Homo-oligomer: A and B are copies of this chain.
Amino acid sequence: MALHIFDPVQDSEIRTTTKLLKDLNGDAKLHFVQIDRLDPPKQQAIEYLNVERNQSPGTPLPYIPRRTYAYYYLNKKMPLYKALVNVSDNRVIANQETPEGTIGPLLPEDMSAVEEAIMKHPIVLEEIAKLKIDTLQYKHASLGNLGYTVVCEPWMYGTDSIHDKIPLIQAYMYMKLNHPEANHYSIPLRFSPVFEYLSHKFVRMDYLPSGADEKYIRDTLPYQQMDTVEYHPELIEGYTEREGLKPLIVSQPEGASFEVEGSKIKWQGWEFRVCTNAREGVAIYDVFFKGRSLFYRIANNEMTVPYMDPRAPYHRKQAFDLGDCGFGNCANSLALGCHCLGVIKYLDLTRCDQDGNPVLVPSTVCMHEQDYGLLYLHKNYRNGNTVTTRRREFVIQTIATVANYEYVMNYIFDQAGAITVQVRATGILSTMPNDEGVVTDFSTIVGPGVTAAFHQHLLSFRFDTRLDGDNNTVVYDDYVPMEENTPMNVYNIGARQERTFVENSGYIEQSPFTNRTYKVINENSINPVTKKPVGYKFEMPAKQMIMASKNSYNVKRALYATKQFWVSKYHENQLYAAGEFTNQSQGDTGLSKWADGTESVRNTDTVVWPTLALTHPPVTEQFPVMTSDFLQFLVTPASFFTRNPALDVPLANNNFNKSVYYDDAQKAAGLPTSKSSTCCSTGKSSI
């Protein structure tokens, strides 16, 4: 099968890129940090898609060469280079130094390498020695005596100065029981070395505050043993597995309802392509429902996680997990029966390593169906006749581990034309040392000597809209009371919709108390029933956006996080809300530049950027591992179709669904049944 223009980067394309760039750079040693496919120019892609959609046998598709981009350093030194390569024709299109101070993302191997270097460095070893942990033992009830070991957790350095122009790492140091499953986040240490991460040079040793303000800094002292808070069953003292959970098996005896052909998925009227990439993890292209175009491209494009602990050096804790690392680079390999149930289709991801070789990360995306209750239901009470349909969903899932945290990204498609974007935050809180008796109003104590600071998660999604065609418009609708005591509103109960058109690029303010609803409409496509333009709405929960001051680096670097819904006109290479390069960035080179109000976005090629925000003050239930917090928004038809597009979904019945009565099931399983089983509504005799 020939490659599709959106298919993920191939091994051979990474190799071609590497070879061409090595050839170009002579004797220098190239240190790659990212090589991936670049989308084709949109206009060419649209022509390709239009031909493909109406293709008669034998019609050739337009030729579009496949392109890659590469970020790399020479001899592990600044500057960072960026190259574009035509891998179809073996040709370097462009290769240039990035502007002074531009720092690229890191590969997992870069992290491991600097971690290893830090753990070997004499100054760090000297600090570790002061802990005097060699002689300490922890007596574990079932595992016996366990020693301790030290763990290094390198963090993006962040920014607090215009002079931070070399690639740095702030290493947070932890101790843990000497066991592979031990939770090091339970014992944060009080020293934090800073290293250059390309050269592995020691820069300085920071000492961490552990009191109510940043003055409480002290030298490294011998470790005073405290109980650790463990998450693994092997290590939890007195662990007893919870009883009573019986298997719940999702079986699909006739196979899945979706069809997969390469990156193309078809399911219940939906058609789209699902393609992995290193930075975003996954992107969804060319989305149609019931034969009508909705979106050209959908992806989560950035997430920033600023911490609100004001004490240095914590003020620099602000990850940009996509720009600094990449959700694809950090993606988990998903496993059958763990990450989703039923009949599962997995997709792999290919990224590069530091030498420019392809690395296969298997099964970073899983796709499956799930049942989620009722789709619609109506009973005519006059005759008892009922229509009931069940809600089947198609889920695209990918999971990134970014050191302590896990992010579960779910794109959920329903049978009625709606998409739910659902993010689950799980994993482990990033923790800090805390002195006995210290209670602050910016962090939560989560265990002995350990605290977790308030922080935020701010995710940007990018929807390149294509509702019924290439020209779309963004509006927002408010719902407001009518003027009181007027002829039209005698009883003072009237309310109406007030529509505002977004004329120029920019953002829309939140307004939950007028039920403000963001909509993408097509002014050229009128719904014959409503007589108004067709549209889709974005139903976003009203949320606190980034809390830091506009004078802080946190905000300067992530202006996108100040607003919930942005609108820009489509331009090539405007993909990432905080800009292309976020690591130690001095400012936001993304949305705030592209959506600056200078361009008309009415009835044109429009892109919308929802920001999903969560203010996260930790609670004890979130340690030592946190139950998923849910964040989600809906993208749903708003008078796009002339009627419910799911009227053709088959009605529910038990021949198909094969559910059973509790009492019968318990009996079949040899269990005692409830005493009321004989008087239930099935009319069975009690004999």
Q: Which residues of B contact A137 (CB under 8 A)?
A: none
Stretch at the interface among A76-84, A237-245, A351-359, A570-578: A237-245
Contacts of A401 in B (CB 8 A): 378-379, 381
Which of B256, B370, B512 is A246 in contact with, Cβ under 8 Å? B256
With contacts A232-B387, A251-B249, A675-B262 known, is A442 near B514, CB below 8 A? no
Asked if A600 is at the interface of the complex by the 8 Å CB criterion, the answer is: no
Q: Are A619 and B638 neighbours in the complex by a CB distance under 8 Å? A: yes
* Contacting residue for A628 out of B339, B376, B447, CB 8 A: B376
Docked CA distance A379–B400 (Å): 9
- Whether the Cβ atoms of B491 and A343 lie closer than 8 Å is no
A456–B403 Cα gap in the complex (Å)?
Answer: 44
Contact A108 B381 (CB under 8 A): yes
What residues on B are CB-neighbors of A268 within 8 Å?
Answer: 242, 244-245
User: Given known contacts A454-B479, A493-B554, is B648 in contact with A621 (CB within 8 Å)?
Assistant: no
A261 within 8 A of B: yes
Assess A269 versus B242: contact at CB under 8 Å? Given A381-B401, A659-B337. yes
Query: What residues of B have a CB within 8 angstroms of the CB of A620 in the complex?
Result: 527, 529-530, 639-643
For A231, list chain B residues within 8 Å (CB): 378, 387, 644, 647
Would you call A428 and B378 a contact (CB within 8 A)? yes
The complex is assembled from copies of this chain, and their number is 2
> Closest residue of chain B to A239, judged by CB?
B648
Stretch at the interface among A50-58, A67-75, A304-312, A603-611: A304-312
Is A497 a contact of B241 with CB atoms below 8 Å?
no
How close is A618's CB to chain B, nearest CB, in angstroms? 9
Instruction: Tell me the bound Cα distance from A254 to B666 in angstroms.
Output: 7
A530-569 interface bits toward B, Cβ cutoff 8 Å, 1 = contact, 0 = none: 1110000000011111011101111000000000000000
CB distance from A515 to the nearest CB of B (A): 4
- Chain B residue with the shortest CB-CB distance to A551: B492
CB <8 Å contact, A654 and B248: no
Question: Are A681 and B497 in touch, CB under 8 angstroms?
Answer: no
Which residue of the partner chain B has the closest CB to A415?
A: B242
Beyond A254-B669, A261-B675, A399-B377, whether A346 also contacts B681 by CB under 8 A is yes
* Distance of A678 from chain B, by nearest CB (Å): 12
Contact, CB under 8 Å: A377 / B426: yes
Contact between A375 and B627, CB atoms less than 8 A apart: yes
Any chain B CB within 8 A of the CB of A160?
yes
Known: A247-B656, A481-B547. 19 other contacts (CB 8 A): A181-B387, A245-B392, A246-B254, A248-B657, A255-B668, A306-B493, A338-B388, A340-B373, A340-B659, A377-B426, A387-B625, A439-B530, A440-B496, A441-B497, A484-B549, A497-B617, A510-B512, A619-B637, A621-B638
